[in-house]
Structure 1
Amino acid sequence: TTDLRAIHPTYSPDQKQIAFVKNGGGNTNLGILNVDSGEIEYLTEFDDGSQVFTPRWSPDGSQIAFAMYRPGGTRDLATISPTGGDYTVRVASTGTDRDPVWTTDGSSLVFASDQDGIFNLYQANLATSEVHRITRVYGGAFQPHINPKDQRIAFSHYGKSAYEIRVIDAQGLWEPISSDSFNIEPIHNPIASTSLANTPYKGEYSTTTIMPRFALDSGKLKAGFVAGSDDILDKQRLFISGMFAHDLDMDLYAVYEYRKKRPTFFLEAYRLARHVEEDVINRDEDFRIYNRSFVLGGVELGGKYKMRRGGLFDARFIYNRSGTSQDVARFNGIGRTELGATTLNGFDIAMTYHLNAVGRSRDSEINPRVGRRLTLRYDRYFNFALNGFDESSSILVEQYENFFYNQFSFNWNEFIPGPGRSALSFRAFGGFIDKEVDDTFDFFLGGLPGMKGYSFYSIEGRRALMLRSSYRFPILSRIDNQAGPIYSDQLYGAFFAGIGRAWDGNADDALLKRGWKREVGAQLRYDATSFYLFPTRASLDVAYGFDHIPLQQVGDPLTRSGLKMYFTLLFGFLTDVGQVH
């Protein structure tokens, strides 16, 4: 069968023929190989994307059972004569029916099906149309095989200990299944599908997937959705998510990617809204605030070009807008009204080079050991920030201050293998802003993105530099344990130490104690899979900052940073949490 890409071979009972599946042209078809002559005869001639799986001969050699999928349908079980002719669908359900084998008397098929949501083994009597459930497992039962001597059934079982081989006795108290679950009546079909006329390809989207989403955010319960659809040839992609709270707090995000040409073009948009209920009274200033609202939105348009050796060039135009509104009145409640303003209109032309040259291995996500990651970024900002209101006007007129500047940054991670599966890593981050800007636009060097021993906003400046080294090692490299829906895989630990500072490059740096800051810490990383599908990766960081936090104003009391803790539970491990900005 040279060049036929043949799979699923099975001998006939007389050992003179081999049934197999040929793969080619986006279809699979069933063939018969004569062992002595080497001649091949094909029993099916599908050309519409149909797929054939796991052929099995009946004990007398008169029929071949197989699983098959037809476009627009599900996977069913069928039989066909090895001498040719139409095939007959013998078992069909709303789920996936697979892995057929014949009982030794040739009257029934034993197979796996997920017609009720979980793969279990069933027996279908082709003469009486009776169906019995053989297993009732919670993980999955697949690939049955019947011992011809004692009729015991061996099968592959997926459970809390991953895959294992199990054996069940021959028919006993098997559970009868309603005729509504499976259609056992024979349905005759032609061996070849109708050829379709060739037409130019046009965009064809897959079925839109919609999933519910719930979250508890700042004490508020949010409900929403995640929806996505892809072009059949992966040339286009659309993803939308949204969550809402009872007070109209919202998180909206959408992204569209166009991959037909190089580079890949994309359009992203987002909007976040937060509402704070409060009752603030200031008798001296004669005002009262009932609630505040904050809105942040943005649009990004750009392209990504994949380069050689793990490089990726990204260029994009970014627009950000933020605003706030307040429900206010005089302190006695008279003259209540709502005041709002746009606090920022920001424009950014960004160009980024990413290099991901980390060696691939089983533990490269939780513990990269060889290679490097590098990010070089340039931004040209045009920011219009709120600077007050026109007091000469009888209406609320915002006044803005312009901040037009260049920003440069780099982030470098180098990974060196250590003894066993341990690894030593070094990280360097640097950033520079070429003009004096409002503190809002500074680099922020603390928190998860940077120095974990200091809070996010505590270290800021127009210039930033950070160095860190860490040593990561396996604690449990192969946990291999299933507990409910969670499969635990790996657990790693790490120790790290770093030094860094952010400053403006003027006389205030010394007065505000913007010198070098030191930190040490430890981390645990846990790698798992949830519900057999979703990567589940958790991190716990404990860090200690040795030095005083930089002052906001000259004369403020000195405060030592001290102990900080962070916990994340995501689909992946945070590398550097994006820009330190």
Structure 2
Amino acid sequence: FDTYGKDKIPGIFRELRNQPLIKLVGVISISSGGGLYPVPHFLNFDQALRKAIGKDTAELYEEWRNWIRKKYEKKENGILSKENPLFHWGTRDQHPVFSPEKDKIAFVSDKGYDYAIFDLYLMDLNSKKVKKLVSRINPSFSFSPDGRYIVYSKVEFYPPERAFLSDLYKINVNTGKIKRLTYGKRAFQPSFSPRGDRIVFVRKEGGNSNLYILFPTTGKLIQLTNDRDGLTQNFTPSFSPDGKKIVFVRFEKGKRDIFILNLKDKKMYPLTRDSADDRCPNFSPDGKKIIFVSDREKGVFNLWSIGLKDRELVRYTSVAGGIFDPNFSPDGKKIAISGYKNGVFSIYIFKFKKLKIMQKISLRKVEITKKKETSGKKSRLISRFIPPEKSVEMKEYPYKPRIKLHYILPWFSIDEEDSFFSVDFYASDTLEKHQLTGSVYLSDNTQYEILYVNRSFTPTLWTDLYSFKGYSYFKGEYFPVEVSGGVGGMFYPLNDRLSFQLGYSSEYLSTYLFTPSLELVPWKGNIREVELGMTYFNLMPVREPELLPWGKVMDLRLKWSDHSLGSELDYLMGKIDLRDYWRISKNKTLAFRLMGESVKNKQVSPRIVFSLGGWNDLRGYPEGFLTGENIALSSIEYRFNWLRRMGGSSSFYFDSLGGAIFYDMGTSWRQEEKLDKSNMLRDIGTELRLRMLPFGKYSLVMRVGVVWPLDYNKRRGRIFLLFGGIF
């Protein structure tokens, strides 16, 4: 605003509105002469920004970064510059909490993760030994008064509501035994009472965050706040040392202030009431003051306290990066914080008495009257304590799904050989409990696919209607394929990792199938099939999921077709696909794959068989090199990443460059035969992999590599260029 002026904002939107929705692209072909194609024109923000201010997003971002550097390069990190952190662990080491015995400190860290995913750790302050207590929790927790337990919250899949919800758990810090305390409560930020008989926490509901009390022995809940306006939020509650009050942060009307709630009468009042952003409040062990962090000085979060009697604000630090999550030791002599410095959050411990008082502000209630004071001077109003206004209740309406068309994308082509018109569309209700996706292709023949998904029930139901004509490729030849029919099924997630699927399909198929001597012959007929599936999916969120995944995936499939179902083919088919990705470091991964397929054809002819060979399985051998009713494949890859954030534009960005060294091994055998391990074929090769981000939202991986077959008479390396297809 200061540099370019607020008037540039309407100018940017005006330029975006003036951009066309469709553009025509001409294609010239030597064989057919070419054609004219209308394609969607994606809004180009860079173009609009350049016309408005003369710079694109990359130039503006670089200018902003330079401005930030110049603004803060001369500022010192104050106390963070003089003291060393307790340890260097992850990028974000946060929320330090002293144990009641003062000899340990618990904290959360994102060590080993690409994103803000936190594990809970416990450090012995004498030996400096650290042990992990539990993985993937929310970064707010509390010790029980006896130090035996830690209560925390964690997001898990909750089957009754088919959603990922946060609930409370407690862990025994000595044995590691975990007990779940709530189910489906959307509970966060728990804190034990001084006697350990109650836990105060935040519950998210109806757009608000309200405070609740949990009695862990009985499971009884008591609601403390009842905001229902869809806007007001309450955060980070904690008890006073006598257990009679709760301090917390309240966000309303765009302001974030510190409040006190008296448990006896459930009345609350603000300690701060101004434009500053105040967070992370905690009582001092003597109960006389509250420590917190605030950006009230120069917009940077620093350490403050406020006295409960004198209402005096005191600032203790002046850092450029920021201080967060303050926590007193039980005796009040030390304070632990999470400090931001040099791009990372680290944990520091200071002696509280050695912190210098850098600023004092008298924050007291002043009654303004028109009467003159005896001294003849008027009192200056620094802050006025305003009682909280009555919360506005939003009227609740039952949800009624209304299907709305989100987009419809037409496409047409006109040329001498093949002219066509196609349209893609997507529609759903607001909560996407009903989804309708479709694609229609009109030319000499009509092709279509319409998919409907219903998530209103448990399990999820879906149906798919389709009609396609095309070609299949096998051993250098193309064979015509025509298929039409429909499939319906259900999907039931048992938890956040394991799910089951059941489906039934009925289709007409015109294709080529195999004789017992593996000769391809044309075949037409109806197929009725029942499919049962189980999927285990446990992948961690990572920056480059296509290049360096992390975790395990297992997919099991069983298909059955029989004359009793009205099918003209009779078979039993099974498939298993196991994938395991071991993270060595953030830039290195070992990937394993084990895949097998088997079919038992109950009729002599025609037969369904599988094949191996080609760039996506047995990469050193031609397409369809091995065929049989049974196949087995294993692959191992050492994957690595060289470069990140290589550059580009918002329309096409070059994100990462890496590679892989791989080894494949596979075989096939006939229905009448047994597996012969001596017939295994092997290959070895290497690839370069470039991850690109077209339009800033899609991911496209280009692969360039060379592979050598180890059990083939032609042992020459095969060079390939591919897009996608990484297991």
In the superposition, the TM-score normalised over structure 2's length comes to 0.43
SS in 2 for 1:226: strand
> In the TM superposition, what is the alpha-carbon distance from 1:159 to its structure 2 partner?
2.8
Residue 378 of structure 1 corresponds to: 558
- Which string of whole-angstrom CA distances, capped at 9 and with x for unpartnered residues, describes residues 231-284 of structure 1? 111111111113345x44x542221100111211111122112499xxxxxxxx
CA distance in 1, matches of 2:581, 2:655: 22
Map 1:308-319 → 2, pairs under 5 A:
308-319=495-506
| 1:357 paired to 2:508 | no
Contact 2:601-2:608 within 8 A present in 1 as well: no
> In the TM superposition, what is the alpha-carbon distance from 1:200 to its structure 2 partner?
3.8
CA distance in 1, matches of 2:666, 2:715: 14
Closer, same or farther: CA 470–362 of 1 in aligned 2, 3 Å: same
In the superposition, the TM-score normalised over structure 1's length comes to 0.52
Map 1:487-526 → 2, pairs under 5 A:
487-506=653-672, 515-526=679-690
CA distance in 1, matches of 2:695, 2:585: 34
Map 1:435-450 → 2, pairs under 5 A:
435=601, 438=605, 440-450=607-617
CA distance in 2, matches of 1:472, 1:514: 29
CA distance in 2, matches of 1:349, 1:516: 32
CA distance in 1, matches of 2:668, 2:455: 40
CA distance in 2, matches of 1:465, 1:521: 19
1:226 to 414, 420, 424: 424
Contact 1:119-1:140 within 8 A present in 2 as well: no
Contact 2:424-2:440 within 8 A present in 1 as well: yes
CA distance in 1, matches of 2:407, 2:492: 28
Residue 295 of structure 1 corresponds to: 482
> In the TM superposition, what is the alpha-carbon distance from 1:357 to its structure 2 partner?
1.1
> In the TM superposition, what is the alpha-carbon distance from 1:562 to its structure 2 partner?
6.0
Residue 176 of structure 1 corresponds to: none
CA distance in 2, matches of 1:436, 1:561: 39
Residue 590 of structure 2 corresponds to: 424
Residue 83 of structure 1 corresponds to: none
SS in 1 for 2:404: coil
SS in 2 for 1:114: helix
Residue 235 of structure 1 corresponds to: 433
SS in 1 for 2:645: coil
Residue 170 of structure 2 corresponds to: none
Closer, same or farther: CA 466–102 of 1 in aligned 2, 3 Å: closer
Map 1:184-223 → 2, pairs under 5 A:
200-213=398-411, 223=421
1:346 to 518, 523, 527: 527
Structure with the bigger RCO (C-alpha within 8 Å, sep 6+) is 2
- Between 537-546 and 156-165, the greater mean CA deviation after superposition: 156-165
Residue 57 of structure 2 corresponds to: 159
SS in 1 for 2:624: helix
Could you list the runs of 5+ residues in structure 1 that have no partner in the other structure?
A: 1-98, 121-135, 145-154, 168-194, 277-291, 326-340, 385-399, 549-558, 577-581
Residue 472 of structure 1 corresponds to: 639
Closer, same or farther: CA 367–244 of 1 in aligned 2, 3 Å: farther
SS in 2 for 1:115: helix
Closer, same or farther: CA 536–419 of 1 in aligned 2, 3 Å: closer
> In the TM superposition, what is the alpha-carbon distance from 1:223 to its structure 2 partner?
4.6
Instruction: Return the letter of the residue paired with 2:492.
Output: Y
1:367 to 527, 541, 548: 548
CA distance in 2, matches of 1:356, 1:486: 31
> In the TM superposition, what is the alpha-carbon distance from 1:302 to its structure 2 partner?
0.3
CA distance in 2, matches of 1:373, 1:265: 23
1:407 to 552, 558, 573: 573
Give the length in aligned residue pairs: 356
Contact 1:156-1:165 within 8 A present in 2 as well: no
- Which string of whole-angstrom CA distances, capped at 9 and with x for unpartnered residues, describes residues 355-378 of structure 1? 22122121233211x311111111
Instruction: Return the letter of the residue paired with 1:496.
Output: F
Closer, same or farther: CA 448–301 of 1 in aligned 2, 3 Å: farther
Closer, same or farther: CA 196–351 of 1 in aligned 2, 3 Å: same
CA distance in 2, matches of 1:501, 1:197: 65
Closer, same or farther: CA 367–197 of 1 in aligned 2, 3 Å: closer
Contact 1:118-1:139 within 8 A present in 2 as well: no
Superposed CA RMSD: 4.3
1:536 to 700, 710, 714: 700
CA distance in 1, matches of 2:493, 2:653: 34
CA distance in 1, matches of 2:18, 2:3: 16
Residue 334 of structure 1 corresponds to: none
Closer, same or farther: CA 162–359 of 1 in aligned 2, 3 Å: farther
- Which string of whole-angstrom CA distances, capped at 9 and with x for unpartnered residues, describes residues 434-487 of structure 1? 4456565112222244212233422121222111111111132221332x8211
Instruction: Return the letter of the residue paired with 1:302.
Output: G
Instruction: Return the letter of the residue paired with 2:553.
Output: R
2:625 to 442, 458, 461: 458
Contact 1:351-1:379 within 8 A present in 2 as well: yes
Could you list the runs of 5+ residues in structure 2 that have no partner in the other structure?
A: 20-43, 66-392, 473-478, 513-521
Residue 574 of structure 1 corresponds to: 725
SS in 1 for 2:679: coil
CA distance in 1, matches of 2:667, 2:624: 12
Closer, same or farther: CA 261–447 of 1 in aligned 2, 3 Å: same
Instruction: Return the letter of the residue paired with 2:684.
Output: V
Contact 1:430-1:463 within 8 A present in 2 as well: yes
Contact 1:100-1:109 within 8 A present in 2 as well: no
Residue 313 of structure 2 corresponds to: none
Q: Percent identity?
A: 18
Residue 257 of structure 1 corresponds to: 453
Map 1:47-196 → 2, pairs under 5 A:
111-112=9-10, 113-117=12-16, 138-139=46-47, 141=49, 158-160=56-58, 163-165=61-63
> In the TM superposition, what is the alpha-carbon distance from 1:214 to its structure 2 partner?
6.8
Closer, same or farther: CA 269–523 of 1 in aligned 2, 3 Å: farther
Instruction: Return the letter of the residue paired with 2:424.
Output: V
Instruction: Return the letter of the residue paired with 2:725.
Output: L
- Which string of whole-angstrom CA distances, capped at 9 and with x for unpartnered residues, describes residues 39-67 of structure 1? xxxxxxxxxxxxxxxxxxxxxxxxxxxxx
Closer, same or farther: CA 319–521 of 1 in aligned 2, 3 Å: farther
CA distance in 1, matches of 2:498, 2:56: 39
CA distance in 2, matches of 1:541, 1:348: 39
- Which string of whole-angstrom CA distances, capped at 9 and with x for unpartnered residues, describes residues 324-344 of structure 1? 79xxxxxxxxxxxxxxx9713
Instruction: Return the letter of the residue paired with 1:111.
Output: I
> In the TM superposition, what is the alpha-carbon distance from 1:115 to its structure 2 partner?
2.7
> In the TM superposition, what is the alpha-carbon distance from 1:529 to its structure 2 partner?
2.0
Map 1:531-570 → 2, pairs under 5 A:
531-540=695-704, 542-548=706-712, 560=714, 567-569=721-723
Instruction: Return the letter of the residue paired with 2:469.
Output: A
CA distance in 2, matches of 1:324, 1:371: 38
> In the TM superposition, what is the alpha-carbon distance from 1:539 to its structure 2 partner?
3.2
CA distance in 1, matches of 2:609, 2:636: 25
> In the TM superposition, what is the alpha-carbon distance from 1:561 to its structure 2 partner?
8.3
CA distance in 1, matches of 2:533, 2:414: 34
Residue 305 of structure 2 corresponds to: none
